[in-house]
């Protein structure tokens, strides 16, 4: 993503009418190749990619092509929904809808009390019983959960890069067979919980009890979450694997179950009796009031059944209205620098009142004005304010000063997908399918809001603490694009550019399905399908070369068929032209329950090695070693006309019915500038 790393160098020339028209089938005459590719190096600023790091893999994209001031044209086309074959319930679950919003900004206070009846899956019971001294050993040929999604399989070992649908195990086992010291269990043998609210994740150890009936701190310790949109609170319970492979991190921890809480995002009200009513009428009114209150969501502590395991946990939630209308930089403690860009930097920060960790993106107004990037910056904020999707980095707040713009985002610290792909060279078929499915849901959500993403690549995909993907960097998004609309702006990343974009034919939302195909191909093989160190030659390959695949042990037949249809050079016949549902219906995704995927009920096969929310090990030390400061901006003050461009920037809560996703508030922090 451009705001995390300096590796991506943006180039901003004019790109209108750069290419001539091609044939209808996407092929290009040799005369066209001779005429244009000799000139591309000059037109594109001489952008070339660095040598490959290894047999499988490429260097990070050295350039993101962004338009400077080219006007984007619209056009007419046709789009019709076909028979996708996907179940209507799955389609309904995936159709993005504007999120219901809390009426007022606030803080969600969570307490975790205790669990009861937790148990091991059958596979772990066998390993437990086979070990002496009631110790759990899982070395050698024992069961491994590195790739299991939820403990439903009856096999003795789950491959390290597969996943399965969550569900309750068919049989359960006591988990109290761990060693004790005078009847007390060491904390390493007690379950831990991960609370997840709007991509903010908290790791909580049990303090006492038994593995079967653990005790947490309860009312003695509360955890606060900032509420900027309505979201479920997720609680996942795990048990450490005492015999995990060296360096496995949390990948081999034992999943015990999860529960989902729908909090009440209104402060509790007191029932007021009507003194004129009879006793029976008062009782009836009180019962009706209590039922109405419960329908608004959970408030207080309740026992909740675990899904994907046995037993239950007691969790308390309380919503408190926050009267603070706007934010300022002093509301955050600056912890570390995690990235720099041409317009500003990104810092890890802690919000002082809730102690939650966020990524604070600072942008200098003068820089984006001088480089004609105001529209892209405003587009990024607008997209983030509208979207509420589990696979997209959420915007928590935005505010401004006379010199700067600030975006407060969830701090997703599992590292870029590019980093993990470069490290492992390529992913197996199941892991690639898992990431592709989550990205497909993210892109479908954006398309549902008439947004084209236009810059899908591994560098713009983060992994969160639990291993799910989080799409970020929305600076190149094109807004207000209906299915039939076309745009012409030449932008994106060279390896991922679609043929219709190179040919300047105008493009629609289907350009995102091409990039999804390129990404899937790169995850499976280690390189984009038409990659070349020479950018001009790479463009020629995108337009002309046939699609080659390695053997079926790397790219199975169903994946090959999907890639062939996604990487169709003719956008009018490309898979996805009639919507994401027809991609979901492809046999490659036959094992996926899309509703469960959207509810994050699949356990990722890989979990980043992250200690807690403060961990910055997956960020470049060049940045994290720098002292975090909100640097002063020197130079002349911006005029009121320039400042007016940023009216409506400040955001601290969504409000239903507003076109920008709501949350814009008047910012009294300075003069007549509004936020």
- Look at residues 309, 198, 201 and name the one whose alpha carbon lies nearest to residue 263: 198
For the chain, what's the residue count? Answer: 675
- 193 and 466 Cβ atoms separated by less than 8 Å: no
| Residues sharing a CB contact under 8 Å with residue 532, sequence separation 6 or more, in sequence order | 538, 541
Query: Strand 9-11 and strand 208-209: pairing?
Result: unpaired
- 571 and 515 Cβ atoms separated by less than 8 Å: no
Calpha distance 393→464 (Å, rounded): 10
- Look at residues 675, 674, 671 and name the one whose alpha carbon lies nearest to residue 637: 671
CA angle at residue 210 from 206 to 216, to 5 degrees?
25
- Of all residues in the chain, what percent are helix, strand and coil, respectively (each to 5)? 25, 20, 55
**Candidate list 455, 464, 512, 568, residue with the active-site label:** 455
Query: Strand 300-305 and strand 312-321: pairing?
Result: antiparallel
Residue stretches of the annotated binding site: 365
Q: What is the dihedral of CA 543, 544, 546, 549, to 10 degrees?
A: -50
Report DSSP state, residue 226. E
- 560 and 553 Cβ atoms separated by less than 8 Å: no
- 593 and 90 Cβ atoms separated by less than 8 Å: yes
Query: Strand 106-116 and strand 254-261: pairing?
Result: unpaired
Calpha distance 564→544 (Å, rounded): 14
| Residues sharing a CB contact under 8 Å with residue 148, sequence separation 6 or more, in sequence order | 158, 162, 163, 164, 255, 603, 605
- Alpha-carbon Rg for the chain in angstroms: 26
- Look at residues 109, 333, 373 and name the one whose alpha carbon lies nearest to residue 233: 109
Query: Strand 254-261 and strand 9-11: pairing?
Result: unpaired
Our measurement of the distance from residue 502's CA atom to the centroid of its chain's CA atoms, rounded to an integer in Å, reads 29
Our measurement of the distance from residue 8's CA atom to the centroid of its chain's CA atoms, rounded to an integer in Å, reads 20
Q: What is the dihedral of CA 547, 582, 511, 597, to 10 degrees?
A: -100
455 classed as catalytic: yes
Calpha distance 322→109 (Å, rounded): 12
* SS3 of residue 299 by DSSP: coil
- Look at residues 324, 322, 304 and name the one whose alpha carbon lies nearest to residue 314: 304
- 654 and 660 Cβ atoms separated by less than 8 Å: no
Calpha distance 457→476 (Å, rounded): 12
Our measurement of the distance from residue 531's CA atom to the centroid of its chain's CA atoms, rounded to an integer in Å, reads 26
Residue stretches of the annotated binding site for ATP: 365
- 543 and 569 Cβ atoms separated by less than 8 Å: yes
List the catalytic residues: 455
């Amino acid at each position: 993503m451009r705001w995390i790393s300096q590796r991506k160098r943006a180039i901003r020339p004019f790109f209108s009418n750069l290419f001539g028209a091609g044939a209808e089938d996407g092929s290009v005459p040799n005369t066209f190749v001779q005429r244009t590719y000799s000139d591309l190096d000059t037109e594109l600023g001489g952008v070339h990619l660095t040598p490959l790091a290894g047999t499988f893999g490429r260097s990070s994209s050295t350039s993101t092509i962004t338009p400077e001031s080219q006007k984007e044209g619209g056009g007419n086309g046709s789009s019709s929904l076909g028979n996708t074959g996907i179940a209507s319930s799955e389609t309904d679950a995936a159709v993005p809808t504007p999120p219901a919003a809390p009426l007022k900004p606030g803080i969600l206070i969570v307490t975790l009390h205790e669990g009861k009846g937790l148990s091991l899956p059958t596979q772990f019971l066998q390993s437990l019983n086979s070990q002496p001294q009631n110790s759990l050993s899982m070395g050698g040929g024992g069961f491994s959960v590195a790739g299991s999604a939820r403990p439903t399989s009856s096999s003795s070992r789950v491959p390290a890069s597969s996943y399965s649908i969550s569900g309750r195990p068919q049989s359960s086992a006591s988990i109290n067979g761990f060693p004790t010291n005078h009847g007390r269990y060491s904390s390493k043998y007690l379950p831990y919980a991960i609370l997840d609210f709007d991509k903010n994740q908290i790791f909580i150890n049990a303090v006492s009890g038994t593995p079967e009936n653990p005790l947490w701190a309860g009312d003695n310790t509360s955890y606060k979450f900032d509420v900027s949109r309505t979201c479920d609170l997720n609680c996942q319970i795990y048990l450490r694997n005492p015999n995990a492979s060296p360096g496995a991190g949390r990948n081999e921890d034992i999943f015990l179950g999860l529960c989902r809480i729908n909090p009440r995002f209104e402060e509790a009200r007191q029932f007021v009796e009507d003194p004129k009513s009879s006793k029976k009428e008062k009782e009836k009114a009180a019962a009706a009031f209590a039922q109405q209150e419960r329908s608004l969501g959970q408030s207080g502590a309740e026992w909740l059944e675990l899904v994907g395991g046995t037993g239950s946990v007691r969790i308390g939630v309380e919503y408190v209205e926050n009267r603070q209308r706007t934010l300022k930089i002093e509301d955050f403690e600056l912890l570390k620098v995690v990235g720099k860009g041409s317009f500003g930097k990104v810092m890890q920060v802690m919000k002082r009142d809730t102690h939650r960790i966020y990524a604070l993106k600072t942008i200098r107004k003068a820089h984006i004005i001088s480089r004609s990037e105001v529209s892209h910056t405003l587009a990024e904020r607008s997209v983030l304010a509208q979207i509420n999707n589990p696979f997209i980095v959420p915007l928590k707040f935005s505010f401004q000063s006379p010199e700067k713009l600030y975006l407060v985002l969830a701090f997703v610290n599992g590292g870029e997908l590019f980093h993990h792909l470069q490290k492992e060279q390529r992913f197996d078929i199941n892991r690639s399918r898992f990431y592709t499915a989550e990205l497909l849901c993210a892109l479908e959500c954006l398309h549902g809001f008439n947004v084209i993403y236009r810059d899908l690549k591994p560098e713009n995909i983060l992994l969160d603490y639990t291993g799910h993907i989080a799409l970020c960097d929305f600076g190149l998004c094109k807004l207000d694009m209906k299915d039939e609309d076309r745009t012409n702006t030449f932008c994106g990343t060279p390896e991922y550019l679609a043929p219709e974009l190179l040919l300047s034919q105008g493009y629609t939302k289907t350009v995102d399905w091409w990039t999804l195909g390129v990404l899937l191909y790169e995850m499976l093989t280690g390189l984009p399908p038409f990659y070349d160190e020479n950018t001009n030659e790479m463009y020629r390959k995108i337009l002309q070369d046939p699609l080659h695949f390695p053997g079926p042990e790397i790219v199975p037949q169903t994946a090959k068929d999907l890639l062939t249809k996604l990487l169709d050079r003719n956008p009018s016949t490309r898979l996805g032209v009639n919507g994401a549902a027809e991609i979901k219906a492809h046999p490659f995704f036959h094992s996926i329950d899309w509703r469960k995927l959207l509810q994050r009920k699949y356990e990722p096969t890989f979990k980043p090695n992250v200690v807690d929310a403060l961990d910055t090990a997956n960020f470049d030390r060049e940045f994290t070693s720098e002292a975090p400061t909100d640097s002063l901006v020197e130079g002349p003050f911006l005029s009121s006309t320039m400042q007016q461009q940023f009216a409506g920037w400040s955001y601290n809560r969504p409000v239903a019915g507003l076109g920008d996703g709501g949350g814009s508030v008047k910012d009294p922090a300075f003069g007549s500038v509004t936020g």
